[in-house]
Structure 1
């Protein structure tokens, strides 16, 4: 679960979804990417909000490690922007997106190597906005998770071999473990606030 980097202030001539990252937001996203990459937090698949600041966050992270935002393994979804502001609905919507988008990526022609491992994806990264990101992470692990700009929470869970992503994301609260939080300043182990 990754919250986008710090964005420019809104102005009357621009839609909120079109706000760009600040210079500091770009730098901090790059540092978070390094902290995550050094620890092997590399996604098999990424679901990213279609907002400009989310796309730019992923783009900057990709400059630090090409695995972030890899072509054929990244989907940009406008709904991740819209659902972030709805109380208590982000986790359910994220589960629906994962079920739908993993199927779309898995349907790539077999000769496209970028799609080869998608059906067996073990790590999915969601890039988006608060309050939805914090709510979803908190619901999944059953403890408060605080996501500041350009901060990523690694959640993990043991599952049965026949479990699907939709199954494990839609099941009740507290089934996941918060492993750590990656910030631009490094890793905070078992952090519930940073």
Structure 2
């Protein structure tokens, strides 16, 4: 059996790991991961490394919980995974996320961001090809979808879900 050819573009959609509850006087952007989220981020990083899935570039929301999630990935990948904090990922929509990824001009980009945008972008890019029951309870914290494209995503271009990682499965 011949292995699948390398995709022209690979997009990783990562929802940040579980965050601590909001506290009075603490801005949302400053919320940290809770202990479960810290463990899930580390678990995810180890699974990605074990699968050999290291993106060329990481785009990260400025939210502290996103930066902490990405730090766990860097702990496994080291300097081979450059990270860029993109302010627009904190409050932007799916089109902002996709534009930021495509602007990198590289073959694989991981976006660490927020729901509902991560979920909306996955559904827009994979369409009806999502397996039934994939995530009936919503896109989980520290959930990761890896989408492969034969050509760069854009209007009318869908990809295929190559990997789905739920830290609790």
User: How would you bin the TM-score normalised by the shorter chain?
Assistant: 0.7 to 0.9
Q: 1:135 aligns with which of 102, 120, 125?
A: 120
- Confirm or deny: 8 A CA contact 1:32 1:185 kept in the other structure: no
Query: How many Å apart are 1:148 and its aligned residue?
Result: 0.4
Q: 1:154 aligns with which of 131, 146, 153?
A: 146
List runs of 5+ in structure 2 lacking aligned partners.
1-12
- Confirm or deny: 8 A CA contact 1:49 1:77 kept in the other structure: yes
**1:18 partnered with 2:27:** no
- Confirm or deny: 8 A CA contact 1:3 1:129 kept in the other structure: yes
Equivalent residue number for residue 99 of structure 2: 96
Deviations 1:56-91 (A, max 9, x none): 0001222233267x3xx32101211102xxxxx31x
Equivalent residue number for residue 162 of structure 1: none
- Confirm or deny: 8 A CA contact 1:141 1:177 kept in the other structure: yes
Could you tell me how far apart the structure 1 residues matched to 2:122 and 2:67 are?
A: 20
- Pairing of 1:43-122 with structure 2 (within 5 A): 43-66=55-78, 70=81, 73-83=82-92, 89-90=93-94, 92-100=95-103, 102=104, 119=105, 121-122=106-107
Deviations 1:31-57 (A, max 9, x none): 111111111211001111110000000
- Confirm or deny: 8 A CA contact 1:43 1:67 kept in the other structure: no
Equivalent residue number for residue 182 of structure 1: 165
Root mean square deviation of aligned Cα: 1.9
List runs of 5+ in structure 1 lacking aligned partners.
84-88, 103-118, 160-167, 187-194
Query: How many Å apart are 1:154 and its aligned residue?
Result: 0.7
Larger RCO of the pair (alpha carbons < 8 Å, separation 6+):
2
How many aligned residue pairs are there? 150
